[in-house]
Amino acid sequence: MYHVQYHQFLHEMPDGTLKMTNPLTGRTAWWVPGRSGRPIENRQTEYARGEIREPEDYCAFCPVNLRQTPPEIDRRIYDGNQCRTVSRPMPSDMGQQPFLFRRVANLYEIVTLEYWRRNYDYRGLARRREWAAAYKNDPAGREHLLELIRTKRKNLRAVGEDMPEISAEAMLTEADSFFLGCHQLISAYRHYRVGADKSDTIQLCGSGCMTPDEHFEYFQFTADSIRDIYECNRYVRYVVAFQNWLAPAGASFDHLHKQLVGLDDWGTSISREVLASRSDPNFYNAQVVNFSSYNNLVMAENQHASLFADFGHRNPTAAVYSKSHHLRPFEHSPEELRGVSDLVHACHAAQGPKMSCNEEWYYQPRDCLEKIPFHVLIKWRVSNPAGFEGGTRIFINPMRPTDIRDQIVPELFRLRAEGRIAHTIQIAEECPVQPNSLRYNR
């Protein structure tokens, strides 16, 4: 499967049907004439300006509701000159200090602290346990934790979970997951976009609504957090990083956030990529990035990364590949990570905040020897699988990769001219598209 000839990844039939195979996963998707059309925007994300309240208080991630999320593992702040990270603040420290991003435990973990405790006898690092003890000893901290656990148990009871009454001490033990757990969230500072345009409406603040500088801070903070999860739990083999934007993409809040989940597994997608990488040490150049440029799918490029329209996915997908020989996001130099961030930001800005999407990060797991370049997929959630897909595992994708390119590229030119994306980005025919530009295998 991994040695198919180039033309077989994208095969156009005489009637115009395009059969697409993803070189990394072997998954198949078809574009069928007459079933296309521009994807509809998923839901209302614009609101009358008058409805906007400052400070924002729309959801648990908004600044007014700091106590509705678990204690902050760290917070990224801007102090007027530069950004810095404040780690493990106590309740009295949280106050009014404005933040750009916050990292907290997920109240509803997928892989729980209990999982790590029971299967690995994981106890967490001393500095985290000390923080937990100090927080519980602080009267405001103790009340915060009890309030969270009560709310969590009430919500679980409401969906039918068996949640017997337990003592306050047992609740505080349950709160250990906030300090030691490996499923975390990074939330951004804004719920709605700061009113930059002159219209009477305002939009939810998506990734593309930030400035390139802010988006880079978001990226760097996420990369640092991945490293921290590895450092805190030696049993973690891979930290999955993703962002679900809006309800069709699985987000339970409209407030921008990323999720990080430490796993003792690589998951199916990375395992398939490992096989592909093993089959050819130049796989990601030859079969992925070179191939995209030979088919004129490259949308933008800079010194450190490339953005192109990808194919063979269930949904229209854009891909950003790092050119760095550093394989993991937290091993990238700031300049390299900035290059990747700028293209991911530009893609979000060009598709607009109304487009529900999943942003997924892929990179070399901790215990993996095969080389995998850091890459980010942005998948637009516009198609609903039907019976045909279920029976065949062939997905009908409403857009060809050229349709994605033709939608994004004019927007990139416009946004760059307006100074809303990084000016260092080269677009479409400006891109050098050097063959073998990924240096991951050197």
Positions that interact with Zn ion (CB under 5 A): 58-59, 61-62, 191, 255
Nearer to Zn ion, 66 or 298 (CB): 66
- Tokens describing residue 168: 């306050």
- Tokens describing residue 110: 């997928």
CB of 87 to Zn ion, least distance (A): 23
Nearer to Zn ion, 60 or 146 (CB): 60
Nearer to Zn ion, 218 or 238 (CB): 218
Q: What is the dihedral of CA 107, 341, 398, 205, to 10 degrees?
A: 60
Residue 242 falls in which region: left (phi positive, over 0), alpha (psi -120 to 50) or beta? beta
Express the helix, strand and coil content of the chain in percent, nearest 5 each: 40, 20, 40
Residue 102 falls in which region: left (phi positive, over 0), alpha (psi -120 to 50) or beta? beta
CB of 398 to Zn ion, least distance (A): 30
- Contacts for 312 with CB less than 8 Å, ≥ 6 apart: 9, 20, 21, 22, 23, 25, 27, 28, 29
Nearer to Zn ion, 250 or 334 (CB): 250
Nearer to Zn ion, 184 or 292 (CB): 184
CB of 393 to Zn ion, least distance (A): 38
CB of 72 to Zn ion, least distance (A): 16
State the DSSP string of 129-161: HHHHHHHHHSHHHHHHHHHHHHHHHHHHHHTT-
- Contacts for 104 with CB less than 8 Å, ≥ 6 apart: 69, 70, 71, 72, 73, 178, 184, 185, 187
Nearer to Zn ion, 214 or 403 (CB): 214
Can you tell me the distance from the alpha carbon of 256 to that of 379, in angstroms, rounded to the nearest whole number?
16
- Work out whether the CA dihedral 233, 239, 242, 248 comes out positive or negative: negative
- Tokens describing residue 156: 């679980």
CB of 254 to Zn ion, least distance (A): 7
Nearer to Zn ion, 58 or 283 (CB): 58
Q: How many CB atoms lie within 10 A of CB 219?
A: 23
CB of 191 to Zn ion, least distance (A): 3
For residue 314, which of 383, 376, 254, 375 has the smallest C-alpha distance? 383
CB of 185 to Zn ion, least distance (A): 12
CB of 224 to Zn ion, least distance (A): 23
CB of 61 to Zn ion, least distance (A): 4
Nearer to Zn ion, 209 or 236 (CB): 209
- Tokens describing residue 394: 């062939």
Nearer to Zn ion, 184 or 317 (CB): 184
Nearer to Zn ion, 65 or 282 (CB): 65
CB of 275 to Zn ion, least distance (A): 41
Nearer to Zn ion, 59 or 172 (CB): 59
- Tokens describing residue 122: 């994981």
CB of 253 to Zn ion, least distance (A): 6
- Contacts for 33 with CB less than 8 Å, ≥ 6 apart: 15, 16, 17
- Tokens describing residue 434: 């050097």
Q: Please, are residues 106 and 183 in contact by the beta-carbon 8 Å criterion? A: yes
Q: Please, are residues 383 and 358 in contact by the beta-carbon 8 Å criterion? A: no
